[in-house]
Chain A
Amino acid sequence: MIDFLWSLGSFIVALGLLVAVHEWGHFFVARKCGVKVERFSIGFGKALWRTKDSQGTEYVIAAIPLGGYVKMLDERVDQVSEADLPHAFNRQSVYKRIAIIAAGPITNFLFAILALFIMYLIGLDTVKPVIGKIEPNSIAAQAGLEPNSQFSRIGNRETVDWEAVNFELISAIGEKSLPVEILLPNGQKQEKVLLLDNWKFDPDKVSALTSLGISAYRPEATTELAFIAKHSGADAAGLKVGDKILAIDGTPMQNWEQIVGYIEQRPDSDVTITISRDGVNIELPATVGNRKHADESDKLVGVLGIVSKARPWPESYLFTHHYDPLGAFVKASEKTWRLMTLSVEMIGKLLTGDVSVKNLSGPISIAQGAGTSAGYGLVYFLSFLALISVNLGIINLLPLPVLDGGHLLYYFIELLTGKPVPEQVQDIGFRIGGVLLLLLMTIAIVNDVARL
């Protein structure tokens, strides 16, 4: 319940902010162009709060937080007095109308740069993309990738962290092969080629890395306990943080994998755990609990409620994205640009069928993403905001009537023909756009619900 509220709260903050940013772009340029703005609303429906400024613009926060709008004076909609005519949207030159409409998405892109700029100024701790394990017979194994080597380049883009690796792998969906450059532990660089002909990748189920047979390096787990879950079997047995597990039921335990394997095989049974606490060996009886198996839900596995202490990360694997203002700005712009191109690529892959519509996400997935990233802290939330802001901008630029891109399409046609697109033809566009949007939204929401 707390999780849900947290997700919902973060989602409303994120969406409200991004919509406000988008609409503010329209609003700002409209004012600059001399168009009278009658209302600037965040959210739809019933007004919760409103105020008016000296130029007669009403600012509203409304009940349904899924969007917002800027209402400009327009002869097609309102009775416009003679004096106000030059301030009506439809009386503006086509260039001004293009500027006003394009301002929304552009502001979203600028906002993404700003969010990432702040993120890089604060600094983001991350790890280098070092390979941990390679699954035998996997695509990665066939390409000759080896554990402990680091991805330095994928395709023709440098990959400094796992996020970048993920972006480039996703962007390669539908390709036949993918050249990668890896950095061996001895500092040597090597070119390898991943053959993607038989790559089966369902982003819903597994990550791109897992589907290629790669797992990321993480420090080895020790047999020392770092965390005991409340009300768990371990808690009841009196295990404490800092205890070292030596044996279970008399079987010596060499490493953490062995402990996990032993416990998982014994759901709902009693075991005796031998631990070392402050140099003294103690035997504790414990009852193993159970949970559902991750893949086969009719199977139960044992669970004790303990987390091991990992060895520290090797210093050389850690680094911080931290830049001076100029560097942060450059990095933020580069990253925003990559997010934009990646979004467009993904839409393209959706059209060619390389990515299934099953992977379309709607508000629920976005809300979960918002909750998760907000939970990790401000820096991650900023990165999430940038991602969604770019997406919002790109989607709004799709040439579907109803969206900004649709209006822009009409205005560009007007530029070419020298007269506005006839109302009836605009209606045709609205029909096509309306049907496409309604159905795409339905698919996205159905996908979301199916994933819950």
Chain B
Amino acid sequence: MLKQRVITALILAPLALFAILFLPLFGFEILIAAVVALGAWEWANMSGYTSKLAKSIYTGLIVGICAALTFTVPIETIWHHGQLSGLYRLILGIAAAWWGLSLLMIIAYPKYSVFWRNSRVIRAVFGILTLIPTWVAVVSLRTSLYDVDPYYGASLIFYVLGIVWAADIGAFFVGVKFGRHKLRPNVSPGKTLEGLLGGVGASSAIIAFAALHYQVDPTRIWMHVLIGGLTVGVSALGDLNESMFKRCAGLKDSGTLLPGHGGVLDRIDSLTAAFPVFAFCYVLWMA
């Protein structure tokens, strides 16, 4: 299982790297829309739309919204004088609110879940709130300061990927190698203090490195740290949120598309939370 996982990752990673760095912006928009579309296909399934037709319609709807956004806000006008387009701002704001609500839903679960549990429509809407902002966030970050430095936006995307993955990878490897002190052996036996510290340490290292790389002003460094920390935390929220919906749908993996990894959504669930929230903070406080 781990071997298959690593092989899949090794094939996908260079492709992703190439796409983020070198794809022309329009091509990049299409590619991200394609990834989001795969996620939409699986989300439809999780929402209870199991027929091929219904899944196609839902996926079509998501792709349609991405396309509509592409045409209402042409690439050159996504950023104007260092300001993100009002529509994109609004979408990121809604996304931030949605993840706040989602945190409350998880804390309260299963209380109040009757409101959305039995309604396919509401769950489908949740999917739109999760997937569309992800597309908007990734595209906004990629096009940020493109005129000044075509790779600046790419570096932001790598930064977010870095913090999110460092947390998981650090936790996994440090936990396996040094994990001795179990945090709550009677509740979640797999979690160790060392694993948690490994994740925290790895993310912190990435955040500290970014602070040096972007030469963050000392008076604003706490902001940088806070946003980094928030991104780490919120990525775990994306994970939990998807698990909650999967549990309602009675599924283990969201799909079978990626050998060893389950579905596309299982791979990008943490990113669907991390990207919109990071982009929202970035637009508000860092850009």
What is A's interface to B at a CB cutoff of 8 Å? 75-77, 79, 350-351, 353, 356-358, 413, 417, 419, 421-425, 427-436, 438-440, 442-443
Q: Are A424 and B240 in contact (CB under 8 A)?
A: yes
Q: Are A356 and B219 in contact (CB under 8 A)?
A: yes
Given A77-B186, A422-B106, A434-B200; A428-B220 close (CB under 8 Å): no
Q: Are A422 and B107 in contact (CB under 8 A)?
A: yes
**Minimal Cβ-Cβ distance residue in B for A435:** B229
Q: Report Cα–Cα, A237/B109, bound state, in Å.
A: 85
**Minimal Cβ-Cβ distance residue in A for B201:** A438
Q: Interface size (B, Cβ < 8 Å)?
A: 41
Instruction: Choose one: B109, B182, B199, B218; the contact of A422 (CB below 8 Å).
Output: B109
Cβ < 8 Å to A, chain B residues 223-248: 223, 225-226, 228-230, 232-234, 236-237, 240
Given A423-B188, A439-B207; A357-B199 close (CB under 8 Å): no
Given A76-B187, A417-B111; A435-B103 close (CB under 8 Å): no
Q: Are A357 and B218 in contact (CB under 8 A)?
A: yes
One digit per residue, 1 when the CB lies within 8 angstroms of any chain A CB and 0 when it does not, for chain B 194-210 equals 00110111011001100
14 CB-based A-B contacts, threshold 8 Å? A77-B182, A77-B184, A357-B218, A422-B107, A423-B184, A424-B106, A425-B107, A425-B240, A427-B191, A435-B204, A435-B228, A438-B204, A439-B208, A443-B225
Q: Which residues of A contact B107 (CB under 8 A)?
A: 413, 417, 421-422, 425
Q: Report Cα–Cα, A3/B215, bound state, in Å.
A: 36
Does any Cβ of A come within 8 Å of B74's Cβ?
no
By Cβ-Cβ distance, the 3 closest A-B pairs, closest first, are A434-B200, A432-B233, A76-B184
Q: Are B186 and A428 in contact (CB under 8 A)?
A: no
Q: Report Cα–Cα, A435/B183, bound state, in Å.
A: 18
Min CB–CB distance A64 → chain B (angstroms): 16
Q: Report Cα–Cα, A433/B226, bound state, in Å.
A: 10
Q: Report Cα–Cα, A90/B154, bound state, in Å.
A: 46
**Minimal Cβ-Cβ distance residue in A for B226:** A436
Q: Are A424 and B236 in contact (CB under 8 A)?
A: yes
Q: Report Cα–Cα, A190/B72, bound state, in Å.
A: 64
Total CB contacts across the A-B interface at under 8 A: 99
Q: Which residues of A contact B197 (CB under 8 A)?
A: 434
Q: Are B225 and A434 in contact (CB under 8 A)?
A: no
Does any Cβ of A come within 8 Å of B137's Cβ?
no
Q: Are A435 and B203 in contact (CB under 8 A)?
A: yes
Q: Are A353 and B220 in contact (CB under 8 A)?
A: yes
Min CB–CB distance B170 → chain A (angstroms): 11
Min CB–CB distance B194 → chain A (angstroms): 13
Min CB–CB distance B2 → chain A (angstroms): 22
Min CB–CB distance B265 → chain A (angstroms): 18
Q: Are B200 and A435 in contact (CB under 8 A)?
A: yes
Q: Which residues of B contact A419 (CB under 8 A)?
A: 111
Min CB–CB distance A344 → chain B (angstroms): 16
**Minimal Cβ-Cβ distance residue in B for A418:** B111
Min CB–CB distance B92 → chain A (angstroms): 20
Q: Report Cα–Cα, A75/B187, bound state, in Å.
A: 9
Min CB–CB distance B226 → chain A (angstroms): 7
Q: Which residues of A contact B240 (CB under 8 A)?
A: 424-425, 428
Instruction: Choose one: A351, A430, A442; the contact of B222 (CB below 8 Å).
Output: A351
Q: Are A75 and B229 in contact (CB under 8 A)?
A: no
Q: Report Cα–Cα, A438/B204, bound state, in Å.
A: 7
Q: Are A429 and B108 in contact (CB under 8 A)?
A: no
Q: Which residues of B contact A76 (CB under 8 A)?
A: 184-187
Q: Which residues of A contact B186 (CB under 8 A)?
A: 75-77, 79
**Minimal Cβ-Cβ distance residue in B for A420:** B107
Q: Report Cα–Cα, A439/B205, bound state, in Å.
A: 9
Does any Cβ of A come within 8 Å of B286's Cβ?
no
Min CB–CB distance A205 → chain B (angstroms): 14
Q: Which residues of A contact B221 (CB under 8 A)?
A: 357, 443
Does any Cβ of A come within 8 Å of B167's Cβ?
yes
Q: Report Cα–Cα, A52/B236, bound state, in Å.
A: 42
Q: Which residues of A contact B103 (CB under 8 A)?
A: 425
Min CB–CB distance B87 → chain A (angstroms): 30
Q: Are B218 and A435 in contact (CB under 8 A)?
A: no
Q: Report Cα–Cα, A413/B108, bound state, in Å.
A: 10
Instruction: Choose one: A353, A413, A421, A436; the contact of B225 (CB below 8 Å).
Output: A436
Q: Report Cα–Cα, A423/B230, bound state, in Å.
A: 18
Given A351-B222, A358-B218; A417-B108 close (CB under 8 Å): yes
Q: Which residues of B contact A422 (CB under 8 A)?
A: 106-107, 109
